């Protein structure tokens, strides 16, 4: 085989390895906000949670809601959609149009922010809307009421915690799960003399092909982004993003209490891993016996040591 042909084959092999590695160790963080009319199928019981928090750029309002959390529950071919931080798109478009017509600078037109209480709910059966409920912000109503508030928070927290536990099993079983952790220093400004902070991300995949990804992007030691995706075709549109959990740039303490430690545990190890190490660690006499066996002194060396 010629050197040229051999080199070409080597490049192909390297590219294949790199592409395979990237597929396993990274996750696309592009997304489309959940729209109940765009759900690909509703004939299976399923849950999905999506939470996006983007710091608004003043006078450059985002096209999509920059602070919204959506819980989707599909049961018995009915779809239940809860939104926390809901802004009526029609009202937003009207406000945008008015400010543009008046030649005024645009503020953040998405006024309702996440507060861990649902502001909006819609229920459909076979895609036909059968019930809708919305908090009246103008009257000071902050949510849909205690019944729906408790349901929303309890189900959301249970869903996230269940997948955090699954992700933790990947950490504990790193040898088999192929967990991949990245830690890299964040750039510093010239006048910044403080300690260097580090970006940390961790990704892994379960036996049933669920992809997990967590990220601490600002180096504060707290996980802000957590994604869980299953490649079974369920989605709500083109590039809809992770279809089980998509928490992006979280600032909510309630969510941080659940996901906040994941990247640190992935890099430094979990308490469970420490217990396994402690339990399986060598007894001292096992190692001293190895030293005596491998580095045993010869009879002549023993004699020299006995010489006065």
pLDDT in tens, the chain (308 residues): 555 544 544 444 444 434 433 433 446 688 999 999 999 999 999 999 999 999 877 666 667 889 999 999 999 999 999 999 998 888 888 877 777 776 676 778 888 899 999 999 999 998 899 999 988 766 677 788 899 999 999 999 999 999 999 999 999 988 888 899 999 999 988 888 889 999 999 999 999 999 999 999 999 999 999 999 999 999 999 999 999 999 999 999 999 999 999 999 999 988 887 777 777 777 888 888 888 888 888 888 888 888 65
Q: Are 36 and 81 in contact (CB under 8 A)?
A: yes
- Phi, psi at 157, each rounded to 5°: -65, -40
Contacts of range 180-184, beta carbons closer than 8 Å, 24 or more positions apart:
180/24, 180/25, 180/204, 181/266, 181/267, 182/25, 183/267
Q: Domain segments of the chain: what residues?
A: 24-274, 276-306
């Amino acid at each position: 085989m010629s050197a040229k042909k051999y080199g070409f084959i080597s490049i192909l092999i390297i590219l294949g390895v790199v592409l395979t590695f990237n597929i396993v160790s990274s996750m696309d963080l592009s997304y489309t906000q959940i729209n109940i009319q765009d759900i690909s199928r509703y004939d299976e019981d399923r849950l999905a949670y999506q939470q996006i928090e983007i710091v608004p750029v003043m006078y450059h309002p985002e096209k999509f809601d920059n602070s919204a959390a959506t819980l989707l529950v599909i049961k018995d071919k009915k779809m239940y959609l809860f939104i926390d931080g809901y802004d009526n798109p029609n009202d937003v478009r009207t406000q945008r149009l008015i400010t543009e017509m008046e030649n005024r600078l645009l503020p953040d037109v998405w006024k309702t922010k996440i507060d861990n209480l649902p502001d909006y709910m819609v229920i459909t059966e076979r895609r036909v809307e059968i019930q809708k409920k919305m908090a009246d912000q103008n009257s000071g109503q902050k949510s849909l009421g205690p019944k729906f508030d408790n349901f929303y928070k309890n189900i959301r927290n249970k869903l996230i915690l269940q997948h955090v536990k699954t992700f933790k099993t990947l950490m504990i079983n790193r040898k088999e799960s192929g967990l991949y952790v990245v830690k890299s220093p964040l750039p510093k400004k010239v006048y910044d003399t403080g300690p260097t902070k580090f970006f940390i991300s961790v990704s892994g995949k379960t036996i049933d092909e669920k992809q997990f990804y967590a990220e601490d992007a600002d180096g504060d030691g707290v996980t802000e982004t957590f994604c869980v995706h299953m490649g079974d075709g369920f989605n709500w549109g083109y590039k809809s993003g992770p279809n089980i959990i998509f928490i992006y740039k979280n600032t909510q303490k309630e969510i941080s209490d659940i996901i906040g430690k994941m990247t640190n545990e992935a890099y430094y190890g979990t308490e469970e891993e420490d217990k396994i190490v402690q339990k399986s660690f060598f007894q001292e006499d096992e190692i001293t016996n190895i030293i005596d066996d491998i580095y045993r002194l010869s009879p002549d060396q023993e004699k020299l040591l006995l010489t006065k």
